[in-house]
Amino acid sequence: MRPVDDRRSRPLRTESSGPLIRERRAWRSRTVEGLEGRQLLTAAPPHIAMVSANTTDSKSVVVDYTIENAPIDQSITFGVYRSTDSQADATAVPVGTVTVFGPASGHATLDQAGQSATALGTHQVVLPLPGGLPPDPSRPYVVVEADPNHALGVSSAADDSAAFRTYLIGVITHGGVQPMSWKVAGPPWEQRMARQLRQEGYDAVIPYNWVAASNHAGEAARQGPRLAKRVIANAGEFPANSPVDVQFIGHSEGTVVNGLALQYLQENPDPQLNAGYLVDTLLDPHSANNGIIGQQYSVSGGLLGQIARMEIDHFQSAAKDPAVIVPSNVDRAEVFYEHTPVSQTHSSNGGLYNLWGQVPVHGSAVYFNLTAPGISHAGTFGVQDWYRLNVVPTLANGDGFITSNDLTVSPAPTAVAGTDRQAEISATSTPTYTGTAAPGSTVRMIAARTDSSTLVPIGQTVTAADGNWTLTTNPLGAGVYRLKVIASPVTPPGRRPVHMTPTAWPKPLIVNRGDSGHAIDSSLIHTTLI
């Protein structure tokens, strides 16, 4: 009920009168109008104060945060970014978002202590990142921002993010049998690449020089532990608890050295390196060992070519290098190889011989075939020169040039009836394969029966705009097949072709197997299909 205004029965007073002013103030305090002018107290919205962020494996981020004012019933979104500094500003690049669920979702996320991750108090939660945290020299900071879309009603806060810095070491390892005139400074190409990596933002570079030892057969295997210890020492020069990424770049027999160094790091873990991301770049991997399956080189005809063949075989017989491996602690391995005939190498090694990359290597990797006239193992224009000119300039921004051209392949689930040793057993004579490649790429699958050297095209398709492709093979007769998939990417406008063709080797395929006692020759299954 509106109060009765009894001011009409009172004597008129001037506005400047002191008693009148005091009476009006008292009257306002008694009216509804006066009550509406008061500020009512409301509950503060929940607020997330970020305490810290870091990583222990480069595949996830560990965050510590405090929830203040009130618990959160629904969920919290955390945004992860790569940045030039410790702020998630407009120049930061999103890595991904991770949602932590509250009780209202029906499947509440628990923190590391087993408590609800959205309750009042301090929490530690591990945020998985499917793509991990690969090296990004131009953006060495990883920033985690709580509630980036301000869904919790807090528009901005000074403590809504936490960050940590990553450090990056580049390792360059040359191959075997190097000129002794290079024993002091190492191969010129290795020195040039080291300078370029520093320019791209690498925090430290190790151009590993084993020229003097490289001329002695069997020395490659001894270099792995030495290199690994040097990497550990370099990592220790960065702030404690900081994750240290490493990219190993090896050429030819240098890939043997790097593989053994990575294996040593796996067997002798270092916390900072374990927290970092390991990249293994293999340039024409070549183990000095005649027992490696697959063709190893191309030699010219005539007497000089035969002498070159004998010299290569003699050195490799004495060396007996272990096969090139990609240990399981490697987060990403990429292989660039060539199989260019010596006649097309523009006089590589005097036109007498050209070593080849031994592919596929042992372990998980993506492959790029560089075979083309003029590209050689280590001649006038070697694979290491191609990589330095075409890929190194792209490394500052996280190497998107390479990853965007990756080729993946796997049989569709309905196409597989089982497995036999390392082979897939097809459920049909026309199995379907799926995968990803650069949009617009032409994907071709070729096959060879293990009892024949004839290569046969068995299917072709074009990658969709989202990078996915599906290929159903032509009808295949009964037998065991070795398979190879090739993707020919479309050259982007303004970029000249760089002869980079992604390749992949699916598991061998058994079609219409027949009786259960059918034997598979394992040496045939492992034969490289080039």
Measuring CA to CA, which residue among 205, 270, 267 is closest to residue 242?
A: 270
Determine the length of the chain. 530
The more confident residue out of 24 and 203 is 203
Domains of the chain: 6-36 (no CATH), 47-165 (2.60.40), 168-403 (3.40.50), 409-525 (2.20.130)
pLDDT in tens, 281-307: 999 999 999 999 777 999 999 999 999
3-state secondary structure string, 82-140?
A: EECCCCCCCCCEEEEEEEEECHHHCCCCECCCCCECCCCEEEEEEEECCCCCCCCCCCC
DSSP 347-402: SGGGGTEEE----SPBS--EEEE---TT-BSSSTTBHHHHHHHHTGGGGGGT-HHH
Orientation angle between helical segments 188-199 and 383-390, nearest 10 degrees:
20
Contact by Cβ (8 Å): 315, 288: yes
Q: What does the pLDDT read at residue 427? A: 81
CA distance 484 to 506: 7
In sequence order, the β-bridge partners of residue 101 are 75
Virtual torsion, Cα 463, 464, 467, 472, nearest 10 deg: -50
At a CB cut-off of 8 Å and minimum separation 6, what does 106 contact?
none
Q: What does the pLDDT read at residue 529? A: 53
Average pLDDT over residues 309-317: 96
| 451 has a pLDDT exceeding 80 | no
Comparing 29-38, 432-441, 505-514, the range with the smallest average pLDDT is 29-38
Average pLDDT over residues 180-184: 95
What confidence category does residue 21 fall into, taking pLDDT thresholds of 50, 70 and 90?
Answer: very low
Contact by Cβ (8 Å): 351, 383: no
Cα angle 454, 457, 458; round to 5: 115
| 497 has a pLDDT exceeding 80 | no
The more confident residue out of 44 and 521 is 44
Q: Between the CA of residue 294 and those of 286, 297, 349, 414, what are the distances in Å? A: 11, 10, 22, 32
Average pLDDT over residues 28-47: 54
Average pLDDT over residues 188-211: 98
Residue 358 sits at φ, ψ, to 5 deg, of: -90, 105
Tally Cβ neighbours within 10 Å of residue 344.
15
**159-172 core/surface letters (b: 16 or more CB in 10 A; e: else):** ebbbbbebbbbbbb
In sequence order, the β-bridge partners of residue 49 are 66
> How do the residues of the chain divide into helix, strand and coil, expressed in percent and rounded to 5?
25, 30, 45
Token pair for residue 83?
């940045």
| 158 has a pLDDT exceeding 70 | yes
Q: Between the CA of residue 113 and those of 109, 131, 316, what are the distances in Å? A: 11, 26, 56
What confidence category does residue 397 fall into, taking pLDDT thresholds of 50, 70 and 90?
Answer: confident
3-state secondary structure string, 431-452?
A: CEEEEECCCCCEEEEEEEECCC
At a CB cut-off of 8 Å and minimum separation 6, what does 372 contact?
338, 340, 499
Residue appearing with tokens 């990359």:
357
Q: What does the pLDDT read at residue 421? A: 63
Output the furthest CA–CA distance in the chain (Å, rounded).
132
Average pLDDT over residues 86-105: 92
Comparing 120-134, 146-160, 309-323, 437-451, the range with the smallest average pLDDT is 146-160
| 436 has a pLDDT exceeding 90 | yes
The per-residue pLDDT of the chain, averaged, comes to 87
Average pLDDT over residues 17-21: 41
pLDDT in tens, 339-350: 999 999 988 888
Q: What does the pLDDT read at residue 116? A: 96
Tally Cβ neighbours within 10 Å of residue 529.
18
